[in-house]
Chain A
Amino acid sequence: MKRVVTYAILIILSFLLQSTISTYFALGDITPNIMIILTTSIALIRGNTEGMVVGFFSGLMLDVLYSNYLGIYALIYLVLGFIFGFFNKIYYQEDITLPIILIALSDFMYGICIYVFFFLINGRFEFFYYFQKIILPETVYTVIIAIFSYRIVLRVCGKLDKKGSEDLIV
């Protein structure tokens, strides 16, 4: 139960940060994608089941509040959480390089997905433009934020383990 509540708080917190404070610190009108950091970090630290569930609810939150169609963001985050959960097998806690690289990869894939689902379909074919102006800067900015926020997620997960909370999630 503690784990579920903690994840819920983490999701809401990162959503709030992303929609409010991060817009004040936008560099060149680009904001970091904090929810991707959360989903990917959890997937890495805890494996694909939990990554998937956290991703699903993060995405659902974005869907409910910002999207025209319920479920699209949920689908993207869900699949990303699942994919990056596989890297849990080669991941160990002391290493920071792998998580950062994977978060970058994750945000990059997210950008591609958004482009394909929302923009390519509307006939915006200049992929390179969107790549250069949004996907790449967002990835870079997200990585910078990830260096700090990944440690926070790791610490929270560590605390949960130490307290011996053996609850099932889902």
Chain B
Amino acid sequence: MNQRKNSKIKPKYILFFLIIICCILIGISMNTRDSENYIQRGLSSIIVPMQKGINHIGSWISGAVENAKTIDELTTTNDELTSEIESLQSKIYALQNNQSELDSLRELLQLKEKFGDYNTLGARVIAKDSGNWYKTFTIDKGSDDGIAVNMNIIAQNGLVGIVTEVGNGYAKVRSIIDDSSSVSAMNLKSSDPCIVYGDLQLLEQGLLGIELMSADSDFAEGDEIVTSYVSDKFLPGIPIGYVSNIEKDSTGLTMHANLVPIVDFERLTNVLVITDLKSDFVNDNTTETESETETESETVE
């Protein structure tokens, strides 16, 4: 009754035909992976505005849900925050002292200030990858706003991810918690190199993985991990997170550990795009970086 045999071609043949198309597409896209993908861009620029619109509805609804939080909860957090402000203020005074000392030392060394002077641009997260297996998202700024591939994304003073694809009014970001992400990083204190990688299994506990530290390298629980100088895509000195749970590998030659990220990836609505590219910095005085690491590690103490 429901079946309508109006097509004369047997489904079997259509299936074969479409499977062949799929195989051809897979073959083509594997070979031309890095080249410009016009179909993808074209379709994205149609879909992204729609996603933006629907996203407004979604954030409105979830905003209404958030508002329904009890006042109790808010007053307790308010108390917590006021006490935190006090402790932070005292820290700021201490840091200001350090800063003035650092400035004078920097002047002495005649070093350019390298950290904190990246140009940034605010952006809003408008869509997440439609599925549960990947951790990529789309932001509402694109090539029109000067965004380019390989620009770093930060939020809450920590590294979020990297731009992998750019269209006119949108950009795709692969976050560092994605299973396929790995970031070349180092220990801020000891400058020992390591690699921070995303792992779906660790993510369950809100963690990332760290590997490739040689067994004699200097890592301790709570050490801050920042992006390293050797990465060709990530700018140096962006905080990623803190070391926890160090373990030796069975071979005894390497170690691995977990990393507690600074960024709360669950609630990522606004991010900052660093509009400086690593490749622009590469020709910049690479010889100075070593000495600068030294000064940076002193400020942490």
Contacting pair A70 B51 (CB below 8 A): no
Contact of A93 among B2, B6, B7, B40 (CB under 8 A): B2
Residues 129-147 of chain B, each 1 if its beta carbon lies under 8 Å from chain A, else 0: 1111110100000000000
Contact of A49 among B14, B29, B200 (CB under 8 A): B14
Which residues of chain B are near A22, meaning CB under 8 Å? 130
In the bound complex, CA of A56 to CA of B129 (Å): 19
CB distance from A77 to the nearest CB of B (A): 10
Contacting pair A46 B2 (CB below 8 A): yes
Q: Tally A residues with Cβ within 8 Å of B.
A: 62
In the bound complex, CA of A124 to CA of B50 (Å): 35
Interface centre among B18, B129, B266 (most CB of A within 10 A): B18
Interface centre among B9, B127, B180, B266 (most CB of A within 10 A): B127
Interface centre among A20, A46, A56, A93 (most CB of B within 10 A): A20
Which residues of chain B are near A70, meaning CB under 8 Å? 25-26, 28-29, 39-40
Which residues of chain B are near A49, meaning CB under 8 Å? 7, 11, 14
In the bound complex, CA of A21 to CA of B57 (Å): 8
Place the interface of chain B in its size category.
Answer: 35 or more
In the bound complex, CA of A74 to CA of B128 (Å): 20
Say whether B44 faces chain A, with CB atoms less than 8 Å apart.
yes
In the bound complex, CA of A17 to CA of B55 (Å): 9
Given A16-B54, A133-B204, the answer on whether A75 and B19 have CB atoms closer than 8 Å is yes
Which residues of chain B are near A63, meaning CB under 8 Å? 25
Residues 98-129 of chain A, each 1 if its beta carbon lies under 8 Å from chain B, else 0: 00000000000000001000110010101001
Contacting pair B22 A82 (CB below 8 A): no
Contacting pair B22 A23 (CB below 8 A): no
Contact of A21 among B9, B19, B26, B58 (CB under 8 A): B58
Residues 38-81 of chain A, each 1 if its beta carbon lies under 8 Å from chain B, else 0: 00000001111100110010000111111011111011001100
Say whether A149 faces chain B, with CB atoms less than 8 Å apart.
no
Residue of A nearest to B48 (CB): A65
Contacting pair B15 A82 (CB below 8 A): yes
Contacting pair B6 A168 (CB below 8 A): yes
Contacting pair B30 A69 (CB below 8 A): yes
Contacting pair B130 A19 (CB below 8 A): yes
Say whether B83 faces chain A, with CB atoms less than 8 Å apart.
no
Contacting pair B57 A69 (CB below 8 A): no
In the bound complex, CA of A15 to CA of B26 (Å): 21
Given A66-B134, A82-B15, the answer on whether A16 and B30 have CB atoms closer than 8 Å is no
Residue of B nearest to A33 (CB): B131
CB distance from B135 to the nearest CB of A (A): 10
Contacting pair A20 B22 (CB below 8 A): no
Contacting pair B2 A91 (CB below 8 A): yes
Which residues of chain B are near A75, meaning CB under 8 Å? 19, 22-23, 26
Which residues of chain A are near B28, meaning CB under 8 Å? 70
Contact of A18 among B21, B130, B180, B200 (CB under 8 A): B130
Say whether B62 faces chain A, with CB atoms less than 8 Å apart.
yes
Listed A/B pairs (11) with beta-carbon separation below 8 Å:
A30-B132, A48-B11, A69-B25, A71-B24, A71-B29, A74-B18, A79-B15, A82-B15, A134-B200, A166-B6, A170-B9
Question: 3 shortest A-B CB distances, which residue pairs?
Answer: A71-B25, A70-B29, A19-B130
